[in-house]
Amino acid sequence: MIAGAVTALAAMLPGAPVLAQAPRPVPAPLVEGPVPGTPPGDPAAPEVTDTYPWLATDADLASLGYVEQEFYLSGKADAYSATGETLATAVPYRTRVIVRRPLSPARFNGTVLAEWQNVSAGYDLDALWSVDQITRAGYAWVGVSAQRVGVNQLRAWSPARYGALDVTGGGQFNADQLSYDVFAQAGKAIRAHGGVLGGLRARTVLAIGASQSAGRLSVMYDAVLPQMEPVYHAYAPIVGPAPTRAGAEKVFQIMSETDVRSPVRPADTDRFRRWEVAGTAHSGWHGQQQRRTLLERDLGAAPTFDCARPPWSRAPLHHMIAAGYLHLTRWVERGIAPPTAPPLLFNADGTKARDELGLALGGIRPSQVEVPTALNTGDNSGETFCVLFGTHIPFDQAQLDALYPSRARYVAAVKAADAHNLKAGYLLPADALRNLADAVGPSRP
């Protein structure tokens, strides 16, 4: 009470400095690694049975000038409630991070994408790892295991590799109260020269997270970050909630059609941007295909779902996410704000507005939606996660013939749609070229 009165009095005195509580410093954790292990399916050592990182990528990173490594992080973290109350200090923890980075400093673009790994399925998920978009731009990607569910699954999956991990303080904090400080300390390890990035020096570190992890980042930003030394330069909550506090760090929210459920939205500001992408799903085809073989390898089988409509929209939300990373980095480093984008449209009754084909109106419109060969939406229903998968229903040949009297017209329309998105800043040139290659392929009109 006395400190509060002194602060208020100081604020009223002309020229007097305002006393403010200093943010708690974020300690640098102990970094151990890279953790040894035989890559899965390594032809150089087929007879060796060894441990390897959970969901280790099957991409040929070496051919891309990249390497995958895993590290243990340990230290003492503070525990916070969801409202920012400090529940305990200096609680021991031990976790891991998985790093995919350029081998050469010349290949590194200076930006690290630090992903709060999603645990909604009961295990750590690299929800935002997208090999083409991340490696071609030269980003380093770091997946952080911050939550109990993910870490406990790791312990059970490979006791030899992960048995000593714990983010609960020995069972004291089972509601992820340590997760905010653990994630912040991972950021410290990323920014430390010679830490988890080897010889690379990070210029900009972005905190990214999808779905539930976006919600965790938003709680961290709103309730915990005001008390904590800032570690991340900006935040990108993807397909999930965004912070409501007007803080110093920039925030870029990207939403699939699935996630836009109301015409009431936060406004763009000089520190906040929001994009909504028509036709895309919370968890679409791109991510499902990227993870399927890894889940078959590490779990024995990829999950299957009985949805009301054919699942997994193929509208490429990952194209807009890739553009978003570039804009967010420029915003941090050069003060160039990302472009604004039109919102998805709603009817007077609160339902999403759709055209005669059933496609959503408004929003950023990928060429797969603006020049459709299938019904791609963000909506579905059925068991478990079906509501998140969206819908993909290819048009029959009669409908394609009616829409596109010739292949040349179809290809020209795709090029025009992508040219608009390139000019607006919603799409990167390499992804536009990918769209064009798909358009001229044999499976198109």
Q: Does residue 70 lie within any of the structural domains?
A: yes
- The owner of tokens 């953790």 is 35
Q: What percent of the chain has pLDDT over 70?
A: 92
Please report the pLDDT score of residue 48 as a whole number: 43
Q: What is the DSSP letter of 226?
A: G
Distance CA 198, CA 87 (A): 34
Phi, psi of 232 (to 5 degrees): -90, 145
Distances from the Cα of 152 to the Cα of 43, 117, 374, angstroms: 30, 14, 41
Q: Does residue 387 lie within any of the structural domains?
A: yes
Which of 105, 172, 178, 99 lies closest to 146 in space, CA to CA?
Answer: 178
Q: List the structure tokens of 139.
A: 């980003």
Q: For 379-432, how does the pLDDT look when each residue is reduced to its tens digit (9 = 90+)?
A: 999 999 999 999 999 999 999 999 999 999 999 999 999 999 999 999 999 999
Instruction: Report the pLDDT averaged over residues 101-123.
Output: 97
Q: Does residue 444 lie within any of the structural domains?
A: no
**pTM recorded for the entire structure:** 0.93
Q: Does residue 402 lie within any of the structural domains?
A: yes
Instruction: Report the pLDDT averaged over residues 299-310.
Output: 94
Confidence of residue 105 (pLDDT cuts 50, 70, 90): very high
Most confident of 11-15, 37-41, 425-429: 425-429
Residue 59: domain span: 28-439
Q: For 186-227, how does the pLDDT look when each residue is reduced to its tens digit (9 = 90+)?
A: 999 999 977 899 989 999 999 999 999 999 999 999 999 999
Q: Does residue 174 lie within any of the structural domains?
A: yes
Q: Domains in the chain: how many in total? A: 1
Q: Does residue 3 lie within any of the structural domains?
A: no
Confidence of residue 13 (pLDDT cuts 50, 70, 90): very low
Tell me the average pLDDT of the chain. Answer: 93
Contact 146, 177 (CB under 8 A): no
Distance CA 319, CA 427 (A): 6
Q: Does residue 16 lie within any of the structural domains?
A: no
Q: Is the pLDDT of residue 7 over 50?
A: no
Host H or E run for residue 131: helix 131-137
- For 71, residues 6+ apart whose C-beta sits below 8 A from its C-beta are 31, 32, 33, 34, 35, 96, 97, 99, 189, 196
Instruction: Report the pLDDT averaged over residues 47-66.
Output: 87
Confidence of residue 3 (pLDDT cuts 50, 70, 90): very low
Distance CA 151, CA 96 (A): 9
Which residues on adjacent β-strands are paired with residue 175?
none
Please report the pLDDT score of residue 295 as a whole number: 95
- For 409, residues 6+ apart whose C-beta sits below 8 A from its C-beta are none
Q: Does residue 5 lie within any of the structural domains?
A: no
Confidence of residue 444 (pLDDT cuts 50, 70, 90): low
- Burial readout 233-264 (b: 16 or more C-beta within 10 A, e: otherwise): bbbbbbbbbbbeeebebbbbbbbbbbbbeeee
Instruction: Report the pLDDT averaged over residues 273-283.
Output: 98
Tell me the helix, strand and coil percentages in the chain, rounded to 5: 35, 20, 45
Which of 64, 65, 66, 34 lies closest to 52 in space, CA to CA?
Answer: 34
Confidence of residue 47 (pLDDT cuts 50, 70, 90): very low
Confidence of residue 355 (pLDDT cuts 50, 70, 90): very high
